[in-house]
């Protein structure tokens, strides 16, 4: 999903797409990033240094307890004299109902919550952003997602302890929330990034390979969607973007051989965070169709992981773009720099092989969906596009989205 490239909180995602050169852009990423075996303790010390006396700890479904991370966090909170209360149960493809629960806790003066500490992956951190904004918002924060309310102008401070590198939510303002009752999964860009983020690569040693694969696919997709854009003269950003793609491929090879390789994990985590903090897309036109289609897929079935849906769509989408002659020069540069070939078809084949090497799904049926589900996905994608999210490279009509999805069968 598109990062904000401007500190203006009222900037809608659509506005970022018209920027195609280094003129009229601005960049800031004011999160303190700790990457260390001691990062968890460092971020808690940062909370104390900020004078915060009580936090709401926001967590997912329990992996934090089984890995022993929760004991480590509570020990450090106690040692630093920081009080805490807990909200567990944020699920993957996080729900607005859980966000509302968190908002109510923060708004209750009895709880005396001064900040939120998100402990988890993108789903927990995204929920944290909506909760911290909702806590300072008069109405229902979901109305902001539906563009039925003015953007929030204030937010509680929040900190993150990352347990899964994938979304870069630990370094950006984005927050994707779902409402299954309405069949919607929508992004929003809040006012603030985390004050500080802890990345302890050892915390990710125990991740199931499926989650590691999803993280690599997600970050690669963020890079590809920023890279394949309308013609631009922004060579510096394009080269940063391509270098990050290469680095993710290299680290993944090492992690596959040894899941406890600290340096490979740390490099991977950093590349993933940089893939969507704005730096890899600054001054590029950007085309987020793969994410828009994927968000519709996981709105149809919230058991589908974001990275898995992306793998299926991107596998078809870039071949589709190349056949239509879109972004030809960029395809050639990408083929050369990332895959060392002047033949774009060959690079696309290598990209397919990379997905296989990572163990990513490539067909809609691998996700448990079938041809009869395509109209549902297309309907959601088109409704979400009507709400103002679309890409400049290819305007997705219902027919085009159907064609792309049929190519994934």
The SS3 assignment for 74 reads: helix
Contact 62, 91 (CB under 8 A): no
Nearer to ligand NZQ, 176 or 249 (CB): 176
Candidate list 122, 134, 201, 361; residue touching ligand NZQ; CB under 6 A = 122
364, two tokens: 């809609």
Identify each DSSP E strand in 20-104 by its residue range: 32-35, 54-59, 83-87
Applying CB under 6 A, which part among 135-143, 148-156, 206-214, 226-234 lies near ligand NZQ?
206-214
DSSP 329-368: HHHHHHHHHHHS-S-HHHHHHHHHHHHHHHT---SGGGGT
Nearer to ligand NZQ, 105 or 269 (CB): 269
Nearer to ligand NZQ, 173 or 230 (CB): 173
CA triplet 68, 69, 72: central angle to 5 degrees?
A: 95
| Partner in contact with 276, chosen from ligand NZQ, Zn ion, none, beta carbon below 5 to 8 Å by kind | ligand NZQ
Q: Which of 322, 297, 321 is nearest to 310 (CA)?
A: 297
Size of the site for ligand NZQ (CB under 6 A): 35
| Partner in contact with 299, chosen from Zn ion, ligand NZQ, none, beta carbon below 5 to 8 Å by kind | none
Question: What's the rounded Cα separation, in Å, for the pair 295 and 167?
Answer: 13
Applying CB under 6 A, which part among 28-36, 48-56, 163-171, 262-270 lies near ligand NZQ?
163-171
The minimum distance between CB 166 and ligand NZQ, in angstroms, equals 4
Question: What's the rounded Cα separation, in Å, for the pair 181 and 184?
Answer: 8
Nearer to ligand NZQ, 114 or 225 (CB): 225
Q: In what order do the strands lie in the sheet with 196-199?
A: 32-35, 196-199, 158-162, 115-120, 54-59, 83-87
Interface characters, 194-233, with Zn ion (x: CB under 5 A): ------------------------x---------------
Q: Does 170 bind Zn ion (CB under 5 A)?
A: no
| Partner in contact with 175, chosen from Zn ion, ligand NZQ, none, beta carbon below 5 to 8 Å by kind | ligand NZQ
Q: Which of 266, 273, 268 is nearest to 251 (CA)?
A: 268
| Partner in contact with 214, chosen from Zn ion, ligand NZQ, none, beta carbon below 5 to 8 Å by kind | ligand NZQ
The minimum distance between CB 16 and Zn ion, in angstroms, equals 15
Interface characters, 240-269, with ligand NZQ (x: CB under 6 A): ------------------------------
Characterize 97-130 residue by residue with b for buried, 16 or more Cβ atoms within 10 angstroms of its Cβ, and e for exposed: ebbbebbebbeeeeeebbbbbbbbbbbbbbbbbb
In this structure, what DSSP letter does residue 38 have? T
The minimum distance between CB 176 and Zn ion, in angstroms, equals 8
Applying CB under 6 A, which part among 199-207, 314-322, 353-361, 396-404 lies near ligand NZQ?
199-207
Residues numbered 124 to 143 that lie near ligand NZQ (CB under 6 A) are 124, 126
Q: Which of 236, 239, 263 is nearest to 250 (CA)?
A: 263
List interacting residues with Zn ion (CB under 5 A): 218
Q: Which residues bind ligand NZQ (CB under 6 A)?
A: 1, 60-64, 67, 92-93, 120-124, 126, 163-164, 166-169, 172, 174-176, 203-204, 206-207, 211, 214, 218, 276, 291, 306
């Amino acid at each position: 999903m598109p990062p904000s490239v401007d500190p203006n909180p009222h900037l809608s995602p659509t506005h970022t797409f018209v920027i195609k050169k280094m003129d009229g852009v601005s960049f800031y990423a004011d999160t303190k990033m700790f990457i260390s075996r001691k990062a968890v303790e460092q971020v808690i010390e940062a909370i104390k240094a900020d004078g915060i006396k009580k936090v709401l700890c926001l967590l997912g479904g329990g992996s934090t307890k089984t890995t022993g991370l929760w004991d480590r966090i509570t020990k450090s909170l106690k040692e630093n004299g920081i009080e805490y209360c807990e909200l567990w149960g944020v699920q993957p493809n996080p729900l607005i109902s859980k966000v509302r629960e968190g908002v109510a806790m923060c708004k209750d003066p009895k709880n005396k919550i001064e900040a939120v500490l998100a402990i988890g992956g993108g789903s927990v951190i995204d929920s944290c952003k909506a909760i911290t904004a909702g806590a300072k918002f008069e109405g229902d924060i979901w109305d902001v997602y539906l563009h039925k309310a003015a953007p929030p102008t204030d937010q509680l401070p929040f900190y993150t302890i990352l347990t899964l590198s994938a979304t870069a939510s630990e370094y950006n303002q984005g927050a994707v929330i779902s409402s299954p009752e309405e069949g919607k999964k929508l992004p929003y860009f809040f006012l603030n990034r985390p004050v500080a983020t802890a990345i302890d690569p050892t915390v990710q040693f125990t991740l199931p390979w499926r989650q590691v694969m999803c993280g690599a696919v997600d970050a690669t997709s963020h890079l590809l969607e920023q890279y394949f854009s309308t013609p631009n003269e922004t060579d510096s950003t394009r080269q940063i973007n391509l270098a990050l793609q290469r680095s993710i491929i290299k680290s993944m090879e090492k992690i596959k051989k040894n899941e406890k390789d600290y340096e490979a994990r740390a490099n991977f985590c950093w590349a993933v965070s940089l893939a969507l903090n704005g730096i890899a897309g600054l001054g590029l036109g950007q085309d987020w169709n793969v994410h828009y289609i994927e968000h519709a897929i996981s709105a149809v079935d919230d058991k589908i992981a974001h990275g898995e849906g992306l793998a299926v769509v991107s596998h078809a989408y870039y071949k589709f773009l190349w056949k239509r002659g879109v972004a030809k020069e960029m395809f050639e540069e990408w083929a050369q720099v990332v895959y060392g070939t002047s033949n774009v078809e060959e690079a696309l084949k290598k990209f397919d092989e990379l997905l296989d090497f990572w163990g990513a799904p490539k067909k809609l049926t691998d996700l448990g969906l079938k041809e009869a589900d395509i109209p549902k996905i297309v309907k959601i994608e088109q409704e979400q596009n009507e709400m103002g999210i679309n890409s400049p490279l290819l305007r997705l009509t219902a027919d085009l989205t159907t064609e792309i999805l049929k190519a994934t069968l």
